[in-house]
């Protein structure tokens, strides 16, 4: 099984409480002085690839923070 690569700043389960009946919520970004609002699912926002990856250890242990394994 592969390791999770989407490491959320706030967990998906926590973001779901702000979702509407359609399961989406409004994500607002300010990029280059322009405000952009879009409907997104909790899975599709607030993450960075390999944010909590630990460098310098074996790959099987590199994602231990996100996966919760020891």
Decide the pairing of beta strands 6-8 and 25-31: unpaired
pTM score of the predicted model = 0.56
pLDDT digit string (tens) for 3-47?
677 777 778 888 889 899 999 989 898 989 999 999 999 888 887
Decide the pairing of beta strands 47-49 and 6-8: antiparallel
Task: Give the mean pLDDT of 42-63.
Answer: 73
**Exposure string for 31-48, b = 16+ CB within 10 A, e = fewer:** eeeeeeeeeeebeebbbe
> In the numeric block, which tokens belong to residue 7?
């490491």
Is 63 or 18 the better-scoring residue by pLDDT? Answer: 18
pLDDT value of position 62: 61
Using only C-alpha atoms, what is the Rg of the chain?
A: 15
pLDDT value of position 23: 94
pLDDT value of position 46: 80
């Amino acid at each position: 099984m592969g390791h999770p690569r989407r490491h959320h700043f706030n967990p998906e389960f926590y973001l779901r409480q702000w979702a509407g009946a359609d399961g989406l919520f409004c994500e607002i970004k300010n990029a280059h002085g322009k405000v952009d609002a879009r409907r997104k699912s909790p899975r599709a926002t607030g993450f960075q690839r390999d944010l909590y990856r630990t460098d310098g250890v074996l790959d099987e242990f590199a994602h231990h923070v996100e996966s919760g394994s020891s």
